[in-house]
Amino acid sequence: MSPLASYRRLFDLAGPLYVAVAFLGRLPLSMSQIGTMLLVSSATGSYGIGGLAAGALAVANAIGSPVAGELADRVGQRPVVLVQSIVGAVGLVALVSLTGTDAADGSLIATAGLVGLVLPQVGPLARVRWRPITRDTGHRQPRLMDAAFSYEGAADEASFVLGPALVGVVVVLVSPSGAMLLAAALLAVFGCAFAAHPTARLTGGSTGALGGDGRILTAVFVGLLLAQGCLGLFFGSIQTGTTALATEVGRPGLAGIIHSCLGVGSVLAGLATVAISERVGQERRVLVSASALVVLSLPLLLVDSVAGLIVTVLFLGFGVAPYMIGVFSIGERAVPAGRVGLAMTLLAGATGIGYAVGSTLAGRLADLHGHPAAFAVTVSATVLAVALATLGQRPVRRMLAQVTLARADAPLTG
């Protein structure tokens, strides 16, 4: 089946409405992270405080999302995502209101954390739905699942193009507060729509737990969590460095737009991964992508203009989605079928933890030494990713072979 045919079959199975709401429903999270940084930084005059607030939101989301994922595995996604969407939208409005009251820095950081605790991770939960959606496709299901994860990786990256771009445009035309209110509105509408879509009925019913037959914290999966942590470190530090450089040159409102350029190449590369031969294992794809990130991130250490940064992040993006697609694809195969929701949200949560560390560390360094110090954190994150990918080659390859054999001996199910 050709790449285009695979995508066409996926969208026929799910329906255009699902594809639309699953994409738009993930925008608020991508908007809230950089939006919180810009909102709090502008209110306090400190990159460090802005980075701490954005980091608090990301850490809390990393904690809350796996809890929501575990609950969704048990009772289904519909009630869980519906509550998250409504409460999360209210929380974003509350954060905006608080920044207009001269509240203490600690109050802003704490409120951002509470908001992050309830924001839904639509992207990881959307990945969970594809196996049951494709369950009746017979021998084509493995190829369609590869296409589904390629699409989801590209969709995540596209959301991190459009989300920061929307924030940047609204910040320039209105204010950081306006950008956060837009995120709240999108969450209330499309988060609830994602929860209400009929495909949500295909989820839930698991009775397992973190242990026994539902055990997911194997050595391989822990390695995947660390790998996503590196990607989060990459995201948090490059976003902070971008904000610092844009402010240093007197164009702070461009930070979101510049950062969104990272996702342009990433989206293209993500969609193209479905064309890679199945003989090229996911573990090898992760290693190659991580190595590309190292090489492509090095120019960040020298860039000192908006134009130079735009060109650098455009090319850097080509390594991001293939890396993330590989990690999530391995993660979906590394856990029991009834624990996929928890696994996907744990991986997303690890990204959030890395983002928090990256944005906080890079924010402190940017306050002291400017944007080059923040970008040094970005380069370090890519080096760590290569080291982890190298160590994981043999155990991941062995695990994938075992899963392939097991699924070949059993009927395909959702």
Strand, coil or helix: what is 126? helix
> Is residue 412 scored above 50 in pLDDT?
no
382: containing domain: 3-203+210-408
- CA–CA distances in Å: residue 231 to residues 33, 122, 170, 212, 379: 15, 18, 27, 30, 11
Terminal Cα-to-Cα distance of the chain (whole angstroms):
21
Cα maximum dimension of the chain: 63
**CATH code: domain of residue 237:** 1.20.1250.20
Residue 373 — very low, low, confident or very high, per pLDDT cuts 50/70/90?
Answer: very high
- Alpha carbon distance 12, 6 (integer Å): 10
Give the pLDDT score at 210. 39
Which sign does the torsion angle of CA 40, 44, 50, 56 carry? negative
- Alpha carbon distance 246, 237 (integer Å): 14
Give the pLDDT score at 156. 86
Residue 395 lies in a domain: yes
Residue 211 — very low, low, confident or very high, per pLDDT cuts 50/70/90?
Answer: very low
Task: Judge whether 19 and 197 are in contact, CB under 8 Å.
Answer: no
Q: Which residue has the higher pLDDT, 142 or 72?
A: 72
Locate 248 and state its tokens. Answer: 């240093």
Over the stretch 301-312, which tens digit does the pLDDT of each residue have? Answer: 999 888 899 999
Over the stretch 99-150, which tens digit does the pLDDT of each residue have? Answer: 888 888 888 999 999 999 999 999 999 998 988 898 888 777 778 888 888 8
Residue 413 — very low, low, confident or very high, per pLDDT cuts 50/70/90?
Answer: very low
Q: What is the dihedral of CA 383, 322, 62, 332, to 10 degrees?
A: -120
Give 209-217 contacts, CB < 8 A, sequence gap 24+: 210/70, 210/342, 213/336, 214/336, 214/338, 214/339, 215/336, 216/334, 216/335, 216/336, 216/339, 216/342, 216/343, 216/346
- CA–CA distances in Å: residue 191 to residues 116, 297, 302, 363: 15, 34, 40, 30
Q: How many domains is the chain partitioned into structurally?
A: 1
> Is residue 414 scored above 50 in pLDDT?
no
Give the pLDDT score at 214. 59
Residue 226 — very low, low, confident or very high, per pLDDT cuts 50/70/90?
Answer: very high
Residue 188 lies in a domain: yes
Size (the chain), residues: 414
Over the stretch 245-300, which tens digit does the pLDDT of each residue have? Answer: 888 888 777 777 787 788 888 888 888 888 887 778 889 999 999 999 999 999 99
Residue 413 lies in a domain: no
Neighbouring C-alpha atoms within 13 Å toward the C-beta of 162: 17
Residue 399 — very low, low, confident or very high, per pLDDT cuts 50/70/90?
Answer: confident
Give the pLDDT score at 74. 86
Residue 324 lies in a domain: yes
Q: Which residue has the higher pLDDT, 339 or 409?
A: 339
Over the stretch 327-346, which tens digit does the pLDDT of each residue have? Answer: 998 988 888 877 888 888 89
- Alpha carbon distance 182, 31 (integer Å): 9
Residue 409 — very low, low, confident or very high, per pLDDT cuts 50/70/90?
Answer: low
Residue 136 lies in a domain: yes
Give the pLDDT score at 209. 41
- CA–CA distances in Å: residue 333 to residues 95, 399, 411: 38, 9, 16
Give the pLDDT score at 143. 81
CA 156, distance to chain mean position in Å, is 6
Residue 253 lies in a domain: yes
Q: Which residue has the higher pLDDT, 50 or 122?
A: 122
Task: Judge whether 160 and 321 are in contact, CB under 8 Å.
Answer: no
> Is residue 63 scored above 50 in pLDDT?
yes
Q: What is the mean pLDDT of the chain?
A: 86
- Alpha carbon distance 146, 143 (integer Å): 5
Quick one: average pLDDT of 319-325?
A: 90
Residue 414 lies in a domain: no
| Bridge partner list, 209 | 211
Locate 370 and state its tokens. Answer: 């400017």
Neighbouring C-alpha atoms within 13 Å toward the C-beta of 287: 15
* Gyration radius (Cα) of the chain, Å: 20
Place of tokens 């980091």: 55
Strand, coil or helix: what is 278? coil
- Alpha carbon distance 131, 336 (integer Å): 13
Give the pLDDT score at 394. 92
- Minimum mean pLDDT range among 21-30, 88-97, 214-223: 214-223
Residue 366 — very low, low, confident or very high, per pLDDT cuts 50/70/90?
Answer: confident
Residue 272 lies in a domain: yes
Task: Judge whether 62 and 353 are in contact, CB under 8 Å.
Answer: yes
